[in-house]
Chains A and B, each alone.
Chain A
Amino acid sequence: MKVTMTVNGRARTFDVEPNRLLLNLLREDLDLTGAKYGCGMGECGACTVLLDGEPVMACMTLAVDCEGATIETVEGLSSGEALHPIQEAFIEEGAVQCGFCTPGFIMATKALLGESPEPTEPEIREYLKGNICRCTGYVNIVKAVQRAAEALR
């Protein structure tokens, strides 16, 4: 099946099987491996990307459902070597350890700050509850989100 979508600002057309997952399309066809496979069932959030600005689990999204959609992945966030303030905040606050969950957290954070530029700590925790991090205990991640919110204000 033919499907056309905009990925990180670039229109792309793919010929996909109806069961092709967005995650596999991004990782295998476009080498956009920032979105990770963590569980394949929407439990960990490591595959989070933005679909028309909304965070979705790419492992539970069919590529054919993305017809006409705009997809943003972590690779599209920075321009050249200049990092996005969310990316900078994650480094500055020590929110990155092994880094495997980081792209998912960053994309979820982008969606959160799009919806709510000045989130309270409970709002941050509520919004990011679907993203699992096994390294940080979330402390430095929540701090990074606060720092990014401040930087973007």
Chain B
Amino acid sequence: MSHASTLQVLGRDTPRQDGVAKVTGREKYASDMSLPGMLVARVLKSPHPHARVKSIDTRGVSDPQAVTLTPQEVPGIRFCPRLVSTPEATYKDWRVLTDKPRYVGEPVAAVAAESEEAAQRALEAMRVEYEPLAAVYDAFASMEEGAEPIHDVIELNDQALKVERNVACQMEAREGDPEEGFKAAAHVVERTYRTSRRYHAQLETKSVLVRPEPGGGVTIWSTTQTLHNTRILIHEIFGIPMGRIRVVKVPLGGSFGSSIQVNTVVPIAVALALKSRRPVKLSLTREEDLHDHCSYQMVFRLKLGADSDGKLVAGHLDAWLDIGGHQVQAYPLLGCVVGWWVSLYRLPHKSYVGKAVYTNKVPSCAFRGYGNPQITWAVETLMDELAEKAGVDPLDFRLMNYIGKGDLFWGQGPTVKSIIQSCGVEEILSRGSEMIDWYNRPKAGSQRGRYRRGVGMGRGYHTSSAGAPVPGTVVDFGGAMVKLNEDGTFDYVSAMMDHGGGTMDANAKIVAEELGVPIHKVNIVNADTGTTVYDVCTHASRGIYSGGGAALKVARQVKDKIRENAARLLDAYPHALKFRYDPERDQAVIYAEGVSGRELTFKELAYAMRHKNLGTVAAVDSYRQPSCPPHFTGYFVEVEVDTWTGRVRPLRVVAGADIGTVINPKLAAGQVHGGFAQGWSMVVNEDLPHDPATGDLLNRGFLADYKVPTTRDMPNLDDFTVFFTDTYEPTGPFGAKGIGEGALNPVAGAVANAVQNALGVRFYDLPITKDMILAAVGGKEGQA
């Protein structure tokens, strides 16, 4: 019997509470909001990839309503826009407006005026004199002696830190004796991999609305994954007491990691609102948004060795991260890159050197998976090569070496370690391989003719939160409030953000499950920083494991209070009372079994408590999760390569996921579908090259020249199978784990392996472009 069979609310599809607002156009995103008397802001952005601002002349701005803002008028504070790490892991090199832009598009000045057009005209009337500096667009060139320094001094833990050779930060790790390990290895493969810079293409561009309040405070509505960190940062920059900063939850039009940090537009709009004493709205255009953020481009030199039995014995990884002009979270990412790598497969001996390097490009930030899709692509393709060399089937090779239940796991970096307590890897691989008929896939390179098919697989995981038994350098806890209303319904309030995956609905269902009521009895209440306890951020696939953990903890407290108060009113013993749901009355009932008349509906209880002045049944608490359980995923992908055009098409996808207890089956599958689309596109489409002549993006920020998948690029419905394993995470709320990022991480490896299976050619750069395929096939045997 499945562990899920006793659940009443979880595991069933329920309509999301924000669904009606979203399908009727009534949902108001930050970019949809407006206020009476509002000014509209525009940002003056550097056209140079690297320059010093010598002067800004605003005298040409003739509009008397226009309010300008220059670097001299904002607090001269260096900050890091992402507040997820402890101070010793938070490198600060940003300013609200810069007088030394380090990428094309960096905000130099801003203006707010009566309309967007008026603001743009005012912007164009401002004169900025720049002294251009030498710029560098490649991480390795940037580290060379004599390269123009991008930052001289940055800050770490309140100390000035001199930057040497444009290396933003670095990290090394070592376990065992890798040199000896490789000597003992029968098979060794070493390769160099290069990933691209990808743009999140979240459908809503970065937006913010700020209203100045009497008494010097501000209210902020913005695209963010974290209400409380936004408040802390605005407090740190502007010195406004935190009680006077109210950050209000608004829905996010997609994010995928791009709003883990406080967006660049937020402090600019706050400064303009404080200066103008008017509400200020600032929304980026798509072109500006493309100049605002992208994923981390990484180069890996990866070496793995296996013994003659096919057991991995040693590994070494060099990682170079091209982070662009600023640090958002480069140092924690260096920890995660090694964490992702060593938590995939057991390596008794291993070593790692990671460097994050400044370049004069758009700053990189987390993008769904936070480096995990990149390193998993490299590892999963190398695992295929090493298996081939060792004469073992690639799938069997993975089964021999994967990290699973009982193993130490430190995906979120060297300071976030815990033991894996649930694992569905075997089930994913056995069921998936059966569905795709893995062992009868074509022999690599055996096909001729124009169209060639290949089957590949990749597996991986992501963390569910960054929890652990002991604190590390990652801040990770959340909280919730639950209260019983006078009609027997509950309000669930949390600062946690929903990216769209249904996180808040899932957590409300956890509350409903614990309290024994249907989901329509639990309201998700929108909130702000003043009415919620701290939640770090919705990232690291922590929404359900951590946010749901908080919801469950608080719901249990509420249940205890219901029991205590009902016991008093019913003249019964609290521990003897039982709960049931009465569908006729649509009420949960608490009762003393077998004793007539000793029962109360939740509504009656709340009413009686009100009339007897006993108070509200409510609880609010923080919750720190004790572990960091990986949710495991595996993809089997069949592709067709057109050797005449270089086009690759997905024919069939089988995806298995171990997410513990499934809360919303359709939305959970939706995470997998969306993860596949992004991973697929990572392999065949996406890159953001810079023009070395100008330092600007080659596509100038136009979405027309940044292709993301459309309806036609995905497999047919019948050819896309998603299944979930029957697993239960003992530390998760009702056994649940995350899904958001694991849904993406192994896709690129699976697709790349399928392309290799079709062509017999392996690629080490992403994306695998049509030109690369044509060159490789042409060089091999010409067009058939």
Contact = CB atoms under 8 A, between A and B. Distances in A.
Contact of A125 (B21, B27, B667, B712): B712
B32 A33 contact: yes
Nearest to A78: B24
B673 A134 contact: no
Interface in B4-32: 13, 15-16, 18-29, 31-32
Contacts, number: 184
A43 B703 contact: yes
B674 to A, nearest CB: 5
Nearest to B502: A97
Contacts of B13: 94
B26 A99 contact: no
Interface in A55-113: 73-75, 77-78, 81, 83, 87-88, 90-94, 96-103, 106
B667 A106 contact: no
Contacts of A46: 203
B674 A100 contact: no
Contacts of A40: 285-286
A40 B500 CA distance: 23
Contact of A136 (B19, B286, B670): B670
Contacts of B21: 99
B253 interface: yes
B523 to A, nearest CB: 17
A136 B674 contact: yes
A140 B670 contact: yes
B669 interface: yes
Interface string B249-263: 001111110000000
B22 A102 contact: yes
Nearest to A146: B717
Contacts of A83: 20, 23-24
A41 interface: yes
A48 B750 CA distance: 35
Interface string B90-129: 0000000000000000000000000000000000000000
A46 B664 CA distance: 26
B678 interface: yes
Interface-central residue, B19, B256, B499, by most chain A CB under 10 Å: B19
Contacts of B674: 97, 134-137
Given A129-B712, A134-B203, A140 B23 contact: no
Contact of A44 (B251, B283, B703): B703
Contact of A132 (B201, B256, B675, B714): B201
B20 A125 contact: no
Interface in B474-513: 499-502
A12 interface: no
Nearest to B676: A137
B25 A73 contact: yes
Contact of B23 (A98, A106, A142): A106
A124 B670 contact: no
B666 A91 contact: no
Interface-central residue, B20, B21, B672, by most chain A CB under 10 Å: B20
Interface in B641-655: none
A74 B23 CA distance: 8
A2 interface: no
Contacts of B20: 81, 83, 87, 91
B669 A94 contact: yes
A123 to B, nearest CB: 11
Contacts of A35: 25
Contacts of A135: 254, 500-501, 670, 674
Given A96-B19, A98-B251, A125-B711, A36 B669 contact: no
A141 interface: yes
Interface string B653-684: 00000000000101101101111111000000
B717 A96 contact: no
A121 B716 contact: yes
Nearest to B289: A39
A44 B26 CA distance: 20
Contacts of A129: 710-712
A106 B203 CA distance: 16
B401 interface: no
Contacts of A100: 29, 203-204, 253-254
B704 A137 contact: no
A132 to B, nearest CB: 6
Contacts of B285: 40
B703 A139 contact: no
Given A41-B704, A99-B23, A138-B714, 10 more contacts: A39-B286, A43-B286, A46-B203, A75-B24, A91-B15, A98-B252, A98-B255, A129-B712, A134-B203, A142-B711
8 contacts: A39-B286, A96-B23, A101-B203, A103-B23, A131-B710, A134-B202, A138-B714, A139-B673
Interface of B: 13, 15-16, 18-29, 31-32, 34, 200-205, 251-256, 283, 285-286, 499-502, 664, 666-667, 669-670, 672-678, 702-704, 708-712, 714, 716-717, 720
